[in-house]
Chain A
Amino acid sequence: MRAVICPQFGPPEVLRVADVPRPEIAPGMARVRIAYAAINFADIVMIEGAYQKKRPLPFVAGMEYSGVVTECGPGVAGVAPGDRVMSFEFFDCFADEIVAPAAHLYPVPDGKPLTEAAALPVGYGTGHGALEWRARMRPGEWVLVHGAAGGVGLGTVEVAKAMGGTVIACAGGAGKVKRALDHGADYGIDYTAEDIRARVLEITGGRGVDVVVDPVGGDAWEASLRCVNWRARMVIVGFAGGRVPQIPANILLVKNVAAVGYWWGDYREKRPAMMRDSVAKLTDWWREGKLRPHVSHILPMEEVTEAMNLLVRREATGRVLLDIGGEEA
């Protein structure tokens, strides 16, 4: 079968599409013919060799996908051939097929396209966990979302609205701000043209925000530290902006601020029930039309390097997908 191989650590240019043996089915596992795979910023970190999960080279890259179950191994319950599913792993998803634990597969509701399905788990899951598990966000709270037009950011904007928050979306450029506003954000800040701190304080009447969800890091994080309310919860999702900040603890003290690190992917292993409940909730909201996963580009698997570079060049909004088997998979 075809698969995207990372033969050495480096930029997206190192990736190759190659022919590899099909994975073997095993007890508890199911084979999925992949329809679409989403590009995550974490993929870029992974192929650089800097991600917190490691596998020896060469490995098959890709973390998120949708598709159709074609075969179930012994002992699999609750999943059957023909099921349309979405899922995430840390490797192996940029391929024609994957054999994954059946428990990792989440059902896609009838009538929902597999394109949206590939764009849901990581971005929306990460956003929901950030707000629910890490920030314990309550209705009516002010939420500042950075990278608000990106995969995690846009998902977080929509989930925060579904949870009753008031959302300030921060993004680079008027087009991205508009995208976030179109997906429910109450206010937008274009950091290329505006001062984040000044605008947040203006918007919140001087109070500052209660929750920050930050996949960007760097200047975005540092600006946020200076416009939070007391007892604010700042969720550290990632450093797509390139710089890992240090937090001097004294800044947290006076306003009783929490700076919480957050790695969503680890929760499936550490807190499987919480993960399951979260995906079920997101699926309900998706079915109800409250969540509208956005895909800005779909490219064939062979163009995986260009697909990743769309993220590197910050041209993507929502998700970029690889078309692997397509909708008829």
Chain B
Amino acid sequence: MRAILCHGWGGPEDLTLGDAPSPPITPDGVRIAARATGVNFADTLMIRGRYQRKPDLPFSPGLETAGVVTEVGAAVTRLKPGDRVVSALMWGGFAEEVMAEERFTFKIPDEMGFEDAVNFAVAYPTAHGALLWQGRLAAGETALIHGAAGGVGLAGVEIAKAMGATVIATAGTDAKGALARDHGADHAINTTTENIRDRVLEITGGRGADMVLELIGGEVFDATLRCAAWNARIVSVGFASGSIPQAPCNILLVKNIGVLGFALSTYRKNRFDLADASMTQLFDWWRAGKLKPVIDRRMDFARAAEALNLLIDRKVTGKLVLTFDGGD
């Protein structure tokens, strides 16, 4: 099969397009003939050897693939050849075939295209799990969504609205804030020009935010502590700023605030029932028009290096999707 290959730690310019053996089937493996695969910032870190996962070389980057099942392993019960699916991968997405794990692979609605489906591998399920299982977001509460124009953030905006919350979105530019508002945010804060704490307290009449989706870290996290409501839940899903948030316990104590870490993969391994129910809910919301994935652009997968550079140069809003011969 054809694949984008990383032979040594480096940048996108070091990747090659070549032939690679089809991955062998595993007992709980699902072979997917790829139709669309998502490009993520983590891919740029992984090919440099700077991600928390370090595959053996050579490998193909790529964390999320949608396509058609062609073969399933002996222990697989939920899926069969012919199923249209999306899967979250450890790596390997920039290839014509991937060997996915059953627990991370889900059937997509018949009406959903493969490119939209890519958003349902990680972004939507991460936002939903964070808001529901860790954040326990209730209707009528105020949700503060950081990085609201990014993959998980925008998903968080839409899902928080679907869950009946008032949504305050924060982002680095007015244009990103406008995007968040287009997707349902009631308020948008420009973190470059405005004071997060002051604006959140103003918007909430001094109460603060009940639930926060935190994926930036650094100063944004610090500002969040100061405008979180009593009994707030701050759910941390990552640190795009690179600066890992430090939560001082005394502030958490006096405000009765919780900081909760969220990792989707652990839930999919340990509580598949919850993960499966979440996917069902997400697809229902999508059918109802409440979730509208943003595709920045489509490119043939052979142009993966170019795609990664677009990401590095911050020229991407929404999901950048690589497609395979045959389209949708």
Q: How far is the CA of A266 from the CA of B231 in the complex (A)?
A: 11
Q: Which of A64-72, A249-257, A319-327 contacts B (4 or more CB under 8 A)?
A: A249-257
Are A230 and B266 in touch, CB under 8 angstroms? yes
Supposing A249-B244, A250-B239 touch, asked if A256 and B134 sit within 8 A by C-beta, the answer is yes
Total contacting residues, chain B, CB less than 8 A: 34
Report the separation of the CA atoms of residues A245 and B246 in the bound assembly, to the nearest whole angstrom: 9
Which of A249, A252, A262 contacts B256, CB < 8 Å? A262
User: Which secondary structure dominates chain B's binding surface?
Assistant: mixed
Complex Cα distance, B246 from A283, in Å, reads 39
- Given A230-B266, A246-B249, A255-B261, are A266 and B230 also a contact pair (CB < 8 Å)? yes
Q: Which residue from A244, A253, A270 sits with its C-beta under 8 Å from B248?
A: A244
Nearest A residue (CB) for B230: A270
- B247's partner among A238, A247, A262 (CB-CB below 8 A) is A247
> Assuming A250-B239, A266-B230, is B244 touching A260 (CB within 8 A)?
no
A248 and B258 alpha carbons, distance in the complex (Å): 13
**Interface: B193 (CB within 8 A):** no
Shortest CB-to-CB span from A210 to chain B, Å, is 13
Residues on A with beta carbons closer than 8 Å to the beta carbon of B114 = none
- The residue on A at minimum CB distance from B264 is A256
Q: Which residue of A lies closest to B130 (CB)?
A: A256
Picked from A217, A244, A249, A263, the residue with its CB within 8 Å of the CB of B261 is: A249
Q: Is B251 an interface position by the 8 A CB rule? A: yes
- Chain B residues whose C-beta falls within 8 Å of the C-beta of A175 in the assembled complex: none
Smallest CB-CB A-B distances: 3 pairs: A261-B252, A252-B261, A260-B258
Task: Answer whether residue B263 sits at the interface, using C-beta atoms and an 8 A cutoff.
Answer: yes
B65 part of interface (Cβ distance < 8 Å)? no
B253 close to A (CB within 8 Å): yes
The verdict on A9 contacting chain B, using a C-beta distance below 8 Å, is no
What's the minimum C-beta distance from A222 to chain B, rounded to whole angstroms?
A: 11
A246/B248 in contact, CB under 8 A: yes
Tell me the minimal C-beta distance from A262 to chain B in angstroms: 6
Chain B residues with Cβ below 8 Å from A252 are: 236, 259-261
Q: Is the CB of B259 within 8 A of A249?
A: yes
Alpha-carbon gap, A285 to B261, bound state (A): 34
Interface set of B (CB-CB < 8 Å, partner A): 133-134, 214, 217, 221, 230-231, 236-239, 244-263, 266-267, 270
- Contacts beyond the supplied A249-B217, A251-B261, A252-B236: 19 A-B pairs with Cβ under 8 Å: A230-B266, A231-B270, A245-B249, A247-B247, A248-B246, A249-B246, A253-B237, A253-B238, A255-B261, A256-B133, A257-B260, A258-B259, A260-B252, A260-B257, A260-B260, A261-B254, A261-B257, A263-B255, A270-B230
Of chain A, the residue at the smallest CB distance from B255 is A261
Identify which of B245, B253, B270 contacts A230 (C-beta below 8 A): B270
Q: For B263, list chain A residues within 8 Å (CB).
A: 253-256
Complex CA–CA separation, A248 to B248 (angstroms): 9
Given A249-B221, A256-B267, A266-B230, the answer on whether A236 and B245 have CB atoms closer than 8 Å is no
A17: interface (CB < 8 Å): no
Contact across chains for B253 and A263 when beta carbons are under 8 A apart: yes
Contact of A255 with B257 in the complex, beta carbons under 8 Å: no
CB closest residue in chain B, given A264: B256
Shortest Cβ distance from residue B208 to the other chain A in the assembled complex, whole angstroms: 13
With A256-B262, A263-B256, A266-B230: A250-B244 Cβ-Cβ less than 8 Å: yes
**Using a CB-CB cutoff of 8 Å, which residues 194-248 of chain A contact chain B?**
217, 221, 230-231, 236-239, 244-248
